Structure 1
Amino acid sequence: MNENQDIELIEQYLQNTLPENERQHLEERLLVQEDLAQEFEKRRIAHRALDHLIAQHLKEHLESLEEQEGEEETGGKVINIQARRRKILTFILSAAAGILLLAGVFRIISAGETPPAGLAEAFYEEPAYTSRRGSDTAGPEEDNFKLAIQDMENRNYESAIELFKAIPEDDDLYLPATYYLAHAY
């Protein structure tokens, strides 16, 4: 048996609801199994303490409530107040966020001074960078790079190495030039 079943048997034994044959079997096991005997002793002491602490009329009242609960199925639902408050608060916050969002969109739309295309034109900025790759005008570094690649294809490695070395470190082509330079040796 597992621990939960043993505890259930002990509780039934202490409440005098355990059938006689199971009661004798449990008593035999208590003599053999020390851990079960310790658990039984703990629960027996707890039951005695509860018997002294709880007044007899309160016990009777609780038993009558148990009997009533067993006789009639109410189908009532327990409501967790904290969960309900949390749900209401979440709804209120969501509604407030939606209202703020709608107010912001309405304000933007009602400004109406500039149509959407005008907004794009008003806030458009020319990019501050230029790309040499793919452009019609190539700089001297790009010319050197292309010549060096051609020299490598023609197996003129010494000329290719000199052209790759001429590319400065701050140039975008420095990294590929270093790659080809390493393979030129």
Structure 2
Amino acid sequence: MNQQNNIDLIEQYLNNELSESERQEVENQIAADQDLASEFERRQMAHQMLDFMVTENLRDQLKALEAEDTRVISMPARRRRLSMMAIAASVIILIGAFFFIMPGGGSLSNQQLALDLYETPTFTMRGGETENITTQITQGIQALNEKDYTAAIRDLEEVPADNEYYTMARYYLGHAHFLNKNYEAAENDFNEVAGANDIRFNDDAEWFKLLSCKAQNKTCEGLLETILQKPNHTYHQEALELQEKLK
């Protein structure tokens, strides 16, 4: 599940938009995923802060109206309506500020765009020669599937440069670094894979190199343009969508 899906699911939970079974499923996911749990706690706190801000704002303005109770009684209908509209406008401003501040609402940063667009691939062998592939690679792929990214990095980094499956190892190493939030290392790994001109990995490496660059909150215009200039690129459509989101 990508970051934006996590955000949407958490917001639905906090807004009581899920069925009981769906809420239970979310709670199980939160218990099993530390990153998801941290995001949930952060957004739950933000919701509580927003509720408090709205409540306090309304209380202050209603107190001000009560202080002028005698005037309100004789106040023309138009002025009473304007007073209530002012209160409503204050609430809207507070809510708008909340969605501007919180990731997942308003403009997304380069990093948030990258995390939203990154989709974890299926970590399997490529090439049809699984019996000949170096043990460190098979162990690294297994660790990736188990989400043990530290172990995956350790195993995949041990594959020597003269190994015939070195490019494969670096490709999976890039994903291990990305998922471990070491985006600079991931960019370097995918850059090396892209430079190897291996048709099995080239398009993927260019795309994930771009996302790794974006995840560092860099503009990466040259990397995006490289893909946009290749209409037959596997990720050409995704690059167009990214370009549109950056406008």
Alignment TM-score, normalising by the size of structure 2: 0.23
RCO higher in 1 or 2 (8 Å CA, sep ≥ 6)?
Answer: 2
Larger Rg: 1
